[in-house]
A and B are shown apart, each in its own frame.
Chain A
C-alpha cells in the first residue's frame, strides 16, 4: 500500500488569504492511503522542502503530494527534493490550488476551499497509482543550428562558435545581415549600421566553427533535445556559388526588372542580382519569378544557334559571367537540394517584418510620398536608391516639410495592441539625422506618447527637442492627397488642445513590427507556439525568456517580440549560452513520460501506427505474430496512441489509465451542491 504524504502550502497569503489551508489539510488526512498531511508558509522554501525530505528519509511516506502553485513551474523543484531524499522523483504529484484556485476564486472563499479539497483528492488519487520511472540519458550531437541570419542570429552563432561548438547558420535570403543591414545609422550613438554590422557578418562567415547556409530554409525538423535531425533546403540560385565571385556583371547585363526588397520596394533590381553591395556571402542569384528567359534560354534548354556563325546564343547573364558560374543548359532542380544536419540544440532568430502602408487606408497609401520608416531608412542610407539624399519618391525633389506618424498599427485594437518598442527611438534618430544634414527642413513628429526607456535614450530624445524638431502629442486622424503630390495632415495637438492642419511634402509612417508571413509554417515544423501578441512564445515571460516549451529549442531577437539591437544582441547571447548547455554536458536526460506497448495485450490491429505524429510506431514481429512497437527515442509522450488503442495495450507512463480514472473518481466523489 502506498504511503502518501500531503503538504499544503500557504504561499504567504497567496493561497491562505482565500483558501482555508487547515481545512484542506484536515480533509487530506481523511483520504485513503494518506499517512501524513502537513502545511507550511512556503512549501518551496528550504524549510518547506526539508519537511518533505525528512518524512521521506524517515520512511514515513513513499508518495508525495504538494498542494501549492502550478506544476509547470514548481514540479521540477519538488521532484529534485524528493530525489535527494532518496525517493524516485516520479512518485510526486502537485495539486494546483493557487494559480487555478485561490488566485481566481478570491470572491468565493468557501467555494475555493471546497475546490481545493477536490483538487488535492485528485492528486492523491493519482499519487496512489504512481509507479517509479527511470530517466533515460542519450548522447548529444555537439552542434547547434541557428535559424535566421539577422543581428540576433549572427550574435548567437558567433557566441556558440566561440564556445567551440559547430554551428549551422541558416538564412533564407542570399545574404546574412537582416534588417540591420538595411539601416543607415543606429540610435542612440548614430554609428553607421554597416560599419558595426559588416565586420560581424564577415567574422561569422569566416569562423571555422560556423557553416553559413544562405538562401536556405529549414524544411523539416525531427528528433529531440540533443539529437535533432534537420533537413535544410538550399534554394536554387541558378548560379554556381562555388564559381561566383560576386562581381555583379550578370546583374549589370540582366534586362528583367522587379522591385528591390532590400530598398523596401523604392527601386528596382534585376532578376539576376546581388542582394546588396556588402552582402555576405557576396553571391548572385537569379530570381526565376522575375527572369524572362532571354533568348528562349529556359533552364535546362539547349541554346539556339546563330544562323550565320553557328555559335550558341546565350542569355545575357551567362554571357556576362566571367567565372562561368551561369550555365542555363544544366537541368537545375528548381527545388534546390536538401542538406541534412544533426544538431543538439536550435536557436530561432527569424526576426520580424514591418507592416505595409497599404493597411492604413486613411493615410493616403496610394500617394508615393507616403512611405514607411524602413523606406526612409533606405532613402537616407548612402547605399540606398537616392544615395543618401533626401528626395521624395514622386518627383525626386527635396521636401521642405516632412511629417512622422507614430504607432501605425501598434497600440491599435484594429491591428496590434502591443507597442512595437523601437519606433519612437528610430523616428527620433531619423529626424535628428535629417535635421543635422538639412537644418532648414521642417520636421513635424506626431506621437501618441514618446517612449524612450533605455540607457542614454531619453537624453537622445531631449537632445532632439533642442534641435528644433517639432513634437506633437496626439493622433494623426488622416492624410489627404493635395495637388503637387503634397499631403494635407489632419492631426490633433493635445498641448494646445487644438486640431492642426498643414501641407507636408513627405509623410513617414512608423508601421508596426510583426512576425514574417512564413513564421506560421516554421512554427509548425519546430513545434513553436505563439503568445497573445502573435510572436513566438517563450517558456516563461520572466524566468524563461529564451527557452521554449520544447527542450533544446531557444529564441532570440524580434521573433520573440519587438526589440532594438542592444536587446536583440543580449537575448541572442543568452539564447546561445542556454543552447550551449546540453552541448557542453555531452548527454541529456529524456523524461520517461512516454508510451510503451505491452506486446501481450496488443492485437496487432495497427490502428496506432498512422496516428503517431512522429512516426514512432511500426509493426514488428513478437512471438511469431505482428505487434506494434514504439521507438522510444522518437516518442514524445502525447498519448494519442494510448487513447486510441482498442486493446488498452499502450501505457503512457505518468498518465496511465488507472491514474486518470482515480482522478476522475476523486473529482466527482463529493463537494457537490455547495453554495455557488
Chain B
C-alpha cells in the first residue's frame, strides 16, 4: 500500500474551511491526508508558514481561499494570490518541487470539490513520494 502523505492545509474560515465542513455534511470521501489550520482569510497565510510546514516534513501544503469576488474581506484573496504565486516561483527556483504546494479557491458550497482536490493532491503526492527534506535527502 502506498504511503499516506501528510498535507497541511491552511483554509480560510469563510470558504475553504466551510467547504471542507460541507464535504462532511455530504459524507464525501477523501483520504485522511489533509489536516486543516483555520485562518480568518487566506490573506493571513505567510510564505513562512508554508516553508515551515515543508521544513518540518509536510509532504504537501495547500492554501485554500474564496473565489475571486467572494473573499469575506473583499480583496484578501487577491493578496494571497499575488503573494503565493511569487512564493511558488521561488520554491521552484530553490529546487523544491512546486507540485507539493497548491493554491486552491474552494467556496463554502463546493464540498465535493474540496474532496476531489484532496483526493487528487494526495494521489500526486503519492507519486512524488515523501518530502525529501524529511527524508534527509
Contacts and interface: CB of A to CB of B under 8 A. Distances in A.
B85 interface: no
A181 to B, nearest CB: 31
Interface stretch (A228-236, A256-264, A469-477, A635-643): A635-643
Given A529-B108, A639-B40, A642-B44, A103 B73 contact: no
B90 to A, nearest CB: 16
A382 interface: no
Contacts of B4: 111, 673-676
Interface in A621-676: 636-640, 642-644, 652, 654-655, 660-661, 663-665, 667-669, 671-676
B109 A530 contact: yes
A96 to B, nearest CB: 7
B106 interface: no
B119 to A, nearest CB: 11
B35 A118 contact: yes
Nearest to B20: A100
B56 A664 contact: yes
B32 A108 contact: yes
Contacts of B75: 613
Contact of B39 (A531, A550, A639, A675): A639
A112 interface: yes
B35 A72 contact: no
A668 B35 CA distance: 10
Given A643-B45, A667-B8, A668-B6, A99 B72 contact: no
B30 A527 contact: no
Contacts of A22: none
Given A529-B72, A638-B44, A644-B79, A103 B35 contact: no
Given A118-B35, A119-B35, A530-B70, A664 B6 contact: no
A652 B44 CA distance: 9
A529, A593, A654 — most chain B CB neighbours (10 Å) = A529
Interface in B13-63: 13-15, 17-18, 20-21, 23-25, 27-33, 35-41, 43-46, 49, 52-53, 56-59
A107 B29 contact: yes
B35 A667 contact: yes
For the residues of B in contact with A, the DSSP-based class is loop
Given A111-B31, A115-B32, A119-B35, A99 B20 contact: yes
Given A104-B115, A550-B72, A640 B41 contact: yes
Nearest to A521: B69
B94 interface: no
Given A108-B32, A613-B75, A640-B41, A665 B56 contact: yes
Given A107-B29, A549-B72, A638-B41, A672 B6 contact: yes
A105 B8 contact: no
A106 B115 CA distance: 13
Nearest to A676: B4
A103 B29 CA distance: 8
Contact of B37 (A111, A122, A638): A122
A668 B32 contact: no
Interface residues on A, range: 35 or more
B76 interface: yes
B56 A668 contact: yes
A17 to B, nearest CB: 12
A112 B32 contact: yes
A54 interface: no
Given A70-B21, A638-B43, A104 B29 contact: yes
B29 to A, nearest CB: 6
A676 B126 contact: yes
A661 B52 contact: yes
A96, A638, A665 — most chain B CB neighbours (10 Å) = A638
Contact of A655 (B24, B39, B73, B109): B39
B137 interface: no
Interface string B82-105: 010000000000000000000000
Contacts of A529: 14-15, 66, 70, 72, 107-108
Contacts of B134: 672
Contacts of A111: 4, 31-32
B31 A108 contact: yes
Given A638-B43, A676-B1, A524 B74 contact: yes
A675 B57 CA distance: 18
A98 interface: yes
A62 interface: no
A35 to B, nearest CB: 24
B63 to A, nearest CB: 11
Contacts of B24: 70, 98-100, 103-104
A644 B43 CA distance: 9
A673 B44 CA distance: 30
A9 interface: no
A72 B20 CA distance: 11
B110 interface: yes
Contacts of B83: 643-644
B61 to A, nearest CB: 9
Contact of A613 (B49, B76, B107): B76
Contacts of B37: 122, 660, 663-664, 667
Contact of B76 (A71, A96, A118, A640): A640
A665 to B, nearest CB: 6
A524 B41 contact: no
Contacts of A520: 69
A27 to B, nearest CB: 14
Interface in A177-210: none
Contacts of A537: 108-109
Interface string A72-96: 1000000000000000000000001
Contacts of B107: 529-530
A104, A107, A114, A671 — most chain B CB neighbours (10 Å) = A104
Contacts of B28: 104
Given A108-B32, A529-B107, A655-B39, A524 B72 contact: no
A667 B58 contact: yes
A532 interface: yes
A533 to B, nearest CB: 8
A122 B23 CA distance: 21
B75 to A, nearest CB: 5
Contacts of B66: 529
A115 B41 contact: no
Return the 5 tightest CB-CB contacts between A and B, nearest first. Answer: A639-B44, A676-B4, A99-B24, A668-B56, A638-B73
15 contacts: A104-B24, A105-B31, A115-B35, A524-B69, A529-B66, A532-B109, A611-B79, A640-B79, A652-B40, A655-B40, A660-B37, A661-B49, A664-B53, A667-B58, A672-B130
Interface of A: 70-72, 96, 98-101, 103-108, 111-112, 114-115, 118-119, 122, 520, 523-524, 527, 529-532, 537, 549-550, 593, 611, 613-614, 636-640, 642-644, 652, 654-655, 660-661, 663-665, 667-669, 671-676
Given A105-B29, A614-B74, A643-B83, 6 more contacts: A98-B24, A104-B28, A115-B32, A613-B74, A639-B40, A672-B134
